């Protein structure tokens, strides 16, 4: 029977950790694979930090038993929840230290009782997660580790970051308060010496980062929820708007199933359309969310948001007409 790769990797780990030495031919026959595939699987395990040992005398491979943890005595649902996150959902966000996550999950998987292990393995084979696109961040693990260290030790950092709106790089000293993941991207939030106030910086826009031999005093008044305020996402603009939208019947139920904002209220109309209202700080972020629904949404208020939607739609038509063949 053909098994998927996740299941095969787990079984490969179990075989190698059993204490018996398996040759490449043994492993290939075990799952009816090519030698090349087995070599690739072993290499991937080594990349993830699993100490696969090769014995030149016997020509066999094994994993040292001390690599794995003692049984954590997890219930079936506890074990399944952890493995679901590690094997299937770890790519839902641009998670740092993904190899460590996988390695920890494999250790836990290996220590589970056979009955729980089989249950998790069988169920996971029939679960598929379609991850949304993520912001690419080069050397995410390194940047994340540096920021973690600076936050814990309250050390000031020097960053050089790219400003897309200015099309140039700018430097500042930053007292980092916390890390935040929002809308497919990671941010560091802290007091910027350049701006003289608390600012947020996208990690993928940080081009250079160094930890200075200086410490900062934590601002006890800082609260992440207060900082974000009622912004639609992560950028409050200092002005509140009452946003009222009508969604067409064919998409109304799928839209209201999600709590998009903590001020959200919903009213259904007789024809099946839904009126959704928000009180948000700023319009620059919500405008793109509204546009994503195209002709299936109407902006009832405020008028300024409706006008901006119309202008963007007209500009889009104009630009695409210019590309159309005459």
Yes or no: say if 114 and 156 are a contact pair by the CB < 8 Å rule. no
For the beta carbon of residue 125, count every other beta carbon within 10 angstroms: 12
C-alpha separations of 289 from 71, 192, 193, 308 in Å: 46, 29, 33, 13
| Range in 70-84, 126-140, 173-187 the model is least confident about | 126-140
**What architecture is the 240-321 domain classified under in CATH?**
2-Layer Sandwich (3.30)
Looking up tokens 């007091």 gives: 191
CATH number, span 140-228: 2.30.30.520
How close are the terminal C-alpha atoms of the chain, in Å? 58
Fold of the domain built from segment(s) 5-67: Arc Repressor Mutant, subunit A (1.10.10)
Quick one: pLDDT at residue 236? 87
Is pLDDT larger for residue 130 or for residue 1? 130
Tokens of 323: 């590309």
Domain boundaries, the chain: 5-67, 76-124, 140-228, 240-321
- pLDDT exceeds 60 at position 69: no
Tell me what percent of the residues of the chain surpass a pLDDT of 70.
93
Inform me whether the pLDDT recorded for 1 exceeds 50. Answer: no
Q: Over the stretch 276-321, which tens digit does the pLDDT of each residue have?
A: 999 999 999 999 999 999 999 999 999 999 999 999 999 988 888 8
Confidence of residue 67 (pLDDT cuts 50, 70, 90): low
């Amino acid at each position: 029977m053909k098994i998927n790769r996740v299941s095969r990797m787990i079984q490969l780990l179990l075989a190698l950790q059993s204490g018996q030495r398996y040759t490449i031919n043994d492993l290939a026959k075990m799952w009816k694979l090519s030698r090349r595939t087995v070599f690739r699987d072993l290499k991937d395990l080594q990349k993830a930090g699993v100490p696969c040992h090769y014995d030149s005398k016997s020509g066999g491979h094994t994993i040292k038993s001390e690599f794995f943890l003692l049984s954590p005595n997890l219930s079936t649902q506890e074990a399944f929840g952890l493995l679901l996150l590690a094997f299937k959902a770890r790519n839902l966000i641009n998670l740092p230290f993904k190899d460590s996550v996988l390695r920890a999950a494999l250790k836990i998987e290996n220590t589970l009782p056979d009955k729980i292990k089989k249950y998790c393995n069988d169920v996971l084979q029939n679960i598929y997660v379609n991850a949304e696109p993520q912001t690419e961040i080069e050397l995410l693990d390194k940047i994340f580790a540096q920021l973690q260290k600076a936050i814990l030790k309250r050390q000031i950092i020097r960053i050089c970051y790219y400003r897309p709106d200015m099309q140039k790089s700018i430097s500042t000293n930053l007292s980092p308060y916390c890390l935040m993941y929002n809308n497919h991207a990671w941010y560091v939030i802290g007091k910027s010496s350049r701006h003289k106030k608390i600012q947020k910086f996208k990690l993928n826009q940080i081009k250079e980062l160094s930890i200075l031999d200086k410490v900062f005093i934590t601002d006890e008044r800082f609260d992440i929820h207060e900082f974000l305020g009622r912004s639609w996402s992560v950028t409050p603009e200092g002005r509140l708007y009452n946003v009222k939208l009508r969604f067409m019947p064919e998409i109304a139920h799928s839209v209201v199933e999600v709590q998009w904002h903590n001020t959200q209220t919903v009213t259904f109309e007789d024809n099946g359309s839904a009126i959704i209202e928000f009180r948000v700080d700023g319009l620059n972020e919500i405008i793109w969310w509204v546009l994503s629904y195209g002709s299936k949404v109407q902006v009832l208020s405020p008028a300024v948001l409706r006008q901006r939607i119309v202008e963007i739609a007209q500009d889009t038509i104009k630009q695409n007409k210019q590309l159309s063949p005459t």
